[in-house]
Amino acid sequence: MNFLFIIVGVGGTGSLVARDIPKLLLGTESKMMIIDGDTVEEKNMKRQAYQTQDIGENKAVALAGKINAFHGCLCDVMDRYVSADEIKNIVKDRYPELTPVIIGCVDNDSTRILLEETFVSFDEAIYIDSANGKWSGNIYTCIRASGNTVGQTRSMSYKLEDAGHPNERSCQELAAENRQYMITNLKMATQVLELVSGIISAKIMEGLTDVEPFKVVHYRYKKR
């Protein structure tokens, strides 16, 4: 089976995931797509996979350019915030032969709600939902198989707050919600990449991965 890995949000964790996924896809027919409407800023140099020459460029475009320069035409790009319908239509129109793997590395519940809606709209799909604060984080991984969801999405565990689309909110609001530490982003990205490696090798680990300062634990959900 071949996959379309859709990385939504390429900031502290997502940019590191997008940078290194191509190495896992070598020798496969799988592809990747990066989605982000944000722009590279000088402050992003501290913990994101950008260089000073990228400042002022769209994040998705900057990363996709580097990936395709090194690995050929492997990475598609959307340089704006999108709707659930847009993602679904792109997958069906451009990549009908690939199984979508949505990797959410976003910093707001509004986009998480959108990504869950996108995930459940597919009969066959995988969703990796990564979220972290300054020191710790967690990752929800679930599967759509024959129109049924295996595992739990984040909203099944607690209520997500829809505070508006990222386009409608100020940079100050978003930054205040998302105080992060470089090492935490690296640890989160490593765990996401481990899950991606498992997907490629047909060893999918649905469940919840807790990432703490000196400990990582993966919990499998009991079948109901």
**In this predicted model, what pLDDT tens digit does every residue of 66-108 receive, in sequence order?**
999 998 888 999 999 988 899 999 999 999 999 999 999 998 9
pLDDT score for 194: 96
- Whose CA is closest to 64, among 52, 72, 76? 76
Phi, then psi, of 203 in degrees rounded to 5: -125, 65
Structure confidence at residue 172 (pLDDT): 44
pLDDT at residue 161 in the model: 84
At residue 223, the pLDDT reads: 55
Domains of the chain: 3-215 (3.40.50.720)
For the chain, give the mean pLDDT.
90
pLDDT digits (tens, 9 = 90+) for 123-146: 999 999 999 988 999 999 999 999
DSSP code of residue 48? S
Type of residue found at 174: L
| Segment 183-208 mean pLDDT | 93
Write out the two tokens for 120. Answer: 């459940």
Check pLDDT > 80 for residue 167: no
What is the C-alpha to C-alpha distance for residues 27 and 194, in angstroms, rounded to an integer?
Answer: 17
Q: How far apart are CA 92 and CA 187, in angstroms?
A: 33
pLDDT tens figures, 28-55: 999 999 999 999 999 999 899 999 999 9
The count of residues in the chain is 224
Q: Which of 69-73, 99-103, 169-173, 187-191 shows the lowest per-residue confidence on average (mean pLDDT)?
A: 169-173
Residue in the block written with tokens 């320069």 = 69
What is the rounded CA–CA span in Å between residue 15 and residue 63? 8
Do residues 153 and 140 touch, judged by C-beta distance below 8 A?
A: yes
